Amino acid sequence: MIGQPRDPADTHRFPAPSFAEPESEPAPEPVPEPEPELEPAPEPAAAAEPEPEPAPAPVSLEKPEPEPEPEPVAEADPAPEPAPPVPSAPVPDPRQALARSPLPAEAPAVPHVGERPPTYGPEPTAVPEADPDVLGLLAPDTALEGAQYGPTVLRAVSVRGDSARFRGEPRRDTLLVTRFGDGPDGLLLAVLGSLGRTGAADERPLDPAAVATATGEACRQLAAAIGRSRAGLAADLRDGARDRLRYGLQRLATGAVAPLRALAPESEPESQSAGEGAPSPASLHCLMVSLDPEAGYRAAFGVGPGGLYLLRSGHWIDAYAARLLHHPDGQPPVPEAPVPDPRPFRFRLVPATPGDILLLCSPGLARPIADEPAVAHFLSSHWAHPHPPGTVDFLRQVQVRAKGYADDRTAAAVWTE
C-alpha cells in the first residue's frame, strides 16, 4: 500500500466512503425540518433514523403546503370589512364640523310680507343685560300660553320684537293668562300689558327692571281685581249686561294701569294739552271669557293703545271702532279717513259666534294689522282653517315679518268651534 502509487481520485474519496454513505441517508430526513416551527422536531429526528424507508414522506409534506394557501384568503376577507369605518374617522374633526356649521346660509330665508325685507334678522342676537340683585324680574324672550274649554280655544303669546332682540333690550310687553273658578261661574282671562316707545328725540331711557316691574304689576292688579269680583262679572257676562260690565271694568282698568302711567314720559301731558303729542305708550288690555258653554258673549276692554280685531268669513273687523278694517281686495275702506286716537277706556262686548276669531293684541301687532294689508291677509289665510293652530304655529304666525314693524308683540286669540 505504501509503495503503490495513489490515484488522486482515491485520495479524495478515502475519508468519504467511511462516513459519507451513512450520513447520506439522514440527508433526506432533514426534509421534516419545517417541523422545527413546533421546536420539539429534534426528538422525532432520532426516531426517524431507524426508519429509512419512509423517504417518500417528504413528498407528502409538499402536498400540505398548498393547503395553507386558503389561509391568506381568509385574511383578505376581513381587510375590506374594516374599510368602511375608516371614512368615519374624519367626522369627529372639530374643524370640519365648524366648517359645516353655517347651515342657515343654505337654509331658505325666513319669509316676510311686503315689498322690502325687514331691517333686523328673524332670530335673537343679544341677551339683555341683567342686574344680579333683581334677577327675579327678568322676562324671557317669549311667553306662550294655550287652553281649551268646551268649544272655546285660547292661544296667547308675547314675544320680544326684532329691534329689541338685535339691541339686547328686554321685552316690554307682559302676558298673564289665568282662570278664576270653574264651571258656569268660571272666568278665563288674558291680560296684556305694554309700555311702548314713543320714538321722540327727547324720550328719556327707562330702566328695564322698572319697566318689567310696572307691566307685570299692572297685569297682576287687574287680574286680581277681576278675580275678587268674579261672581258678579261672570253673571253679567253670561247675561250680556253691557252697561254694568262697562262701568265695573272701567273702574278696575283705570286703577290697575297706574303703575304704567307712572313711567310715562314727563313731557306727555304738556304735549297732549297742545294737541300735538301722541297718546300715552302705557297699554293695559284684557280679554275675558266665560267658561259657561251657554254664555253668548266675550268681553274685551282696556286702556291705552292696542287693537281688538274680529276675523269673520275672511274679513277683518276693528271691533273697538266697529268698522271694516280691510276689504277682500286688500285695500282699506276709506284710505283718506283719519283714524281718531284711542279713547282713555275702550270696551266691547262681542257675541260668541261659531267660526269667528277674536284677537286682542298690543300695539306691536295692532299697527301692522291695521296699516299693512299683507299682514292682515297673512293671518287670515292661515287662520281660515277649520281648526285652530297649535301654540307653536300660533307663535310663528304672529311673528309674521314686515319692514317697519319690529316692536314687541303680544296677542291673545279666541276660536269658537
Model pLDDT for residues 155-211, shown as the tens digit of each residue: 999 999 888 888 888 898 999 999 999 999 999 999 999 987 766 655 677 777 788
The answer, yes or no, to whether residue 268 has pLDDT greater than 60, is: no
Output the pLDDT for position 155.
Answer: 98
Three-state SS for 188-208 is EEEEEEEECCCCCCCCCCCCH
Strands 112-113 and 357-361, bridge-based pairing: unpaired
The pLDDT, as a whole number, for residue 277 is 52
Query: What pTM does this model have?
Result: 0.70
Residue ranges covered by each domain of the chain: 142-264+291-416
Report the half-sphere exposure of 50 (CA within 13 A, side-chain side).
3
More confident residue, 128 or 326: 128
Spatial CA neighbour of 325 closest among 375, 397, 283: 375
| Cα-based distances in Å from 252 to 164, 223, 255, 286, 345 | 31, 9, 5, 11, 11
pLDDT band at 41 (very low <50, low <70, confident <90, very high): very low
Query: What was the pLDDT predicted at 308?
Result: 98
Return mean pLDDT, the chain.
Answer: 76
- Asked if 316 contacts 325 with a C-beta cutoff of 8 angstroms, the reply is yes
Pick the CATH number of 142-264+291-416 from 3.30.450.20, 3.60.40.10, 3.30.450.30, 2.60.40.10: 3.60.40.10
Q: In 3D, which of 257, 283, 249 has the Cα closest to residue 367?
A: 283
Q: Please state the rounded mean pLDDT for residues 27-49.
A: 47
Give tens-digit pLDDT for 199-235.
665 567 777 778 888 999 999 999 999 999 999 999 9
Give dist(CA 14, CA 8) in Å, integer. Answer: 10
Q: Using 50, 70 and 90 to split pLDDT, how confident is the model at 81?
A: low
